[in-house]
Amino acid sequence: MNHSTPEQPADIVARLRATYRTGRTKPVEWRTGQLGRLRAMLTENGDALAAALHADLGKSATEAYRTEIDFTVREIDHTLDHLAEWLRPEPAPVPAHLGADATAWTQVEPLGVVLVIAPWNYPAQLLLAPMVGALASGNAVVAKPSELAPATSAALARLIPAYLDTDAVAVVEGGVPQTTALLAERFDHVFYTGNGTVGRVVMRAAAEHLTPVTLELGGKSPAFVDRGTDLDVVADRLARGKFLNAGQTCVAPDYVLTDPDTAAALEPALERAVEALYGTDPAASPEYGRIINERHFDRLSGLLDSGRTVVGGTGDRASKYIAPTVLADVDPESPVMREEIFGPVLPIVTVPGLDAAIDFINDRDKPLALYVFTESDGTRERIAAETSSGGLGYGLPLAHLTVSDLPFGGVGESGTGSYHGRWSIETFSHRKAVLSKPLH
Ligand code: NAD
């Protein structure tokens, strides 16, 4: 279909629903066909997408491929490899009172028309990876990229209709008015990635239609560093996880929690790690990104004096550059500890030891991710048993989300629901309970 005038949200949803009702999106061949087209879109237009990501976030091509384009291709390949198995009906044991000839199973069916709303920080991955699950599950999809990453939004709005089935997949660009208009429509699932304030708006709007939601939110993800760890390894991994995409990663280590002696030794190790990654002048490093816009630049600039500067602490508004920054002696009540940082500022907060660290974590919202650097099995076990978080990473930040068969999502304030791999099929499908008893 070719539309010369912009379609209204109500018309788009009605059109996609009409397609869905024909049954066109249900056969596994349509689903795998769409995934193949999405894969081709990414491999044939990787450089155009990388250029858009560079324009929006100063992302290097290496980072754009690794964290957005190739990431999504891997998610597609994993899904194509396993879809048949994930969709297979699962038999359930039948109780004796129904007789030996009765059988029962669950059948996986699509939900219908789903809405995917993406944020600006990984503006391609966070729109496309949920779409992989939605399409693989046999749904029609309305995709809403973030207006705060305008080059990527425009590229996706151009490419998606050129590759995917336009009767079943639509892209709606825009900001609050467009998203509000979309959310007034009845969807069969709303999948939102972004902040908790808007998450509440999404959940309220969905409640009007009793539409289930997945909320992929954020918050402060702590990194606990135990005594007696190799701090050069820890600092290298912390710096890589924190300063990727200039800290604008939902699962970035938000702050370090450690004892005072370890903190003192970690400070110079972090300084060395930052220099090893980005040189003495990170502003000149092609691998180091920029802040999305002036509003976030100003917000982050206001956090730079929340502690003693170990590394960085400087910025340039014209180029939206904020140096990779480490702050020590940070008061838990200081501004940098009151909100999700979502930028390249790493505060170190000291606590006497493990008990206090566990209390510190449990006194706050349940994080999206919790990272633990320790050589002690006892410490690992205690943290796993005594804290709650969306994900838990021992020794390596961020990486759990690259394991396709792990559910990626938050808990409490960091979100509800999950996706990736087969967990996306659970999110974007209904498991229908079926019982069969022969008539004679
Ligand atoms: P954003 O401002 O791009 O907003 C996300 C989406 O919500 C956009 O598509 C936007 O158009 C829409 N939106 C904004 N205001 C709205 C409103 N009033 N009504 C309806 N829709 C509205 O992105 P953001 O929220 O700044 O993203 C950053 C946050 O997202 C951080 O908290 C981060 O931790 C979180 N995040 C979470 C994940 C995850 O997977 N859990 C991933 C990335 C980011």
pLDDT digits (tens, 9 = 90+) for 203-241: 999 999 999 999 999 999 999 999 999 999 999 999 999
Residue closest by Cα to atom 11 of ligand 1: 175
Cβ of residue 175 lying under 6 Å from some atom of ligand 1: yes
Residues 6 or more apart in contact with residue 199 via CB below 8 angstroms:
192, 215, 217, 415
Each residue's pLDDT, cut to its tens digit, for the chain (440 residues) gives: 444 567 899 999 999 999 999 999 999 999 999 999 999 999 999 999 999 999 999 999 999 999 999 999 999 999 999 999 999 999 999 999 999 999 999 999 999 999 999 999 999 999 999 999 999 999 999 999 999 999 999 999 999 999 999 999 999 999 999 999 999 999 999 999 999 999 999 999 999 999 999 999 999 999 999 999 999 999 999 999 999 999 999 999 999 999 999 999 999 999 999 999 999 999 999 999 999 999 999 999 999 999 999 999 999 999 999 999 999 999 999 999 999 999 999 999 999 999 999 999 999 999 999 999 999 999 999 999 999 999 999 999 999 999 999 999 999 999 999 999 999 999 999 999 999 999 98
Structure tokens at 378: 């006892």
Q: Look at residues 43, 16, 40, 10 and name the one whose alpha carbon lies nearest to residue 138.
A: 16
Q: Look at residues 86, 73, 75 and name the one whose alpha carbon lies nearest to residue 401.
A: 75
Q: Ligand 1: distance of its center to the CA of 193 in Å? A: 5
Q: Ligand 1: distance of its center to the CA of 368 in Å? A: 15
Q: Are 224 and 257 in contact (CB under 8 A)?
A: yes
CATH level 3 topology of 9-217+412-436: Aldehyde Dehydrogenase; Chain A, domain 1 (3.40.605)
Three-state SS at 286:
coil
**Would you call 294 a catalytic residue per the annotation?**
no
Locus of tokens 């198995």: 85
Tell me how far apart the alpha carbons of residues 13 and 186 are, in angstroms, rounded to a whole number.
8
Tell me how far apart the alpha carbons of residues 418 and 397 are, in angstroms, rounded to a whole number.
18
Residue closest by Cα to atom 16 of ligand 1: 176
Cβ of residue 198 lying under 6 Å from some atom of ligand 1: yes
Cβ of residue 181 lying under 6 Å from some atom of ligand 1: no
Cβ of residue 218 lying under 6 Å from some atom of ligand 1: yes
Structure tokens at 226: 């135990």
Cβ of residue 365 lying under 6 Å from some atom of ligand 1: no
Q: What is the maximum alpha-carbon separation in the chain?
A: 81
Cβ of residue 254 lying under 6 Å from some atom of ligand 1: no
Q: Ligand 1: distance of its center to the CA of 118 in Å? A: 6
Residue closest by Cα to atom 15 of ligand 1: 176
Write down the catalytic residue from 68, 75, 185, 216.
Answer: 216
Q: Which strands make up the sheet holding 140-144, listed edge to edge? A: 169-171, 140-144, 113-117, 189-193, 213-216, 415-416
Q: Ligand 1: distance of its center to the CA of 199 in Å? A: 8
Pocket residue to mutate for ligand 1, from 71, 72, 121, 192, most atoms within 8 A of Cβ: 121
Strand duo 103-110 + 429-436: pairing: antiparallel
Q: Ligand 1: distance of its center to the CA of 367 in Å? A: 17
Q: Taking the CA atoms of the chain, what radius of gyration do you get in angstroms?
A: 23
Amino acid symbol at 126: L
**Would you call 185 a catalytic residue per the annotation?**
no
Architecture of 222-402 per CATH? 3-Layer(aba) Sandwich (3.40)
Burial 168-187 (b: 16+ CB within 10 A, else e): bbbbbbbeeeebeebbebeb
DSSP assignments along 31-90, one per residue: HHHHHHHHHHHHHHSHHHHHHHHHHHH---HHHHIIIIIHHHHHHHHHHHHHHHHHHS-E
Structural domain boundaries of the chain?
9-217+412-436, 222-402
Write down the catalytic residue from 63, 68, 250, 413.
Answer: 250
Cβ of residue 435 lying under 6 Å from some atom of ligand 1: no
Q: Ligand 1: distance of its center to the CA of 439 in Å? A: 53
Residue closest by Cα to atom 39 of ligand 1: 216
Residue closest by Cα to atom 40 of ligand 1: 216
DSSP assignments along 384-426, one per residue: HHH---SEEEES-SSGGGG-TTS-B---GGGEE--BSHHHHHH
Q: Are 379 and 357 in contact (CB under 8 A)?
A: no
Residue-wise pLDDT tens digits, 49-66: 999 999 999 999 999 999
Residue closest by Cα to atom 28 of ligand 1: 194
Residue closest by Cα to atom 5 of ligand 1: 119
Cβ of residue 206 lying under 6 Å from some atom of ligand 1: no
Write phi, then psi, for 326 (nearest 5 degrees): -120, 130
Tell me how far apart the alpha carbons of residues 419 and 377 are, in angstroms, rounded to a whole number.
29
Instruction: Pick the atom of ligand 1 nearest to 401's CA.
Output: 40
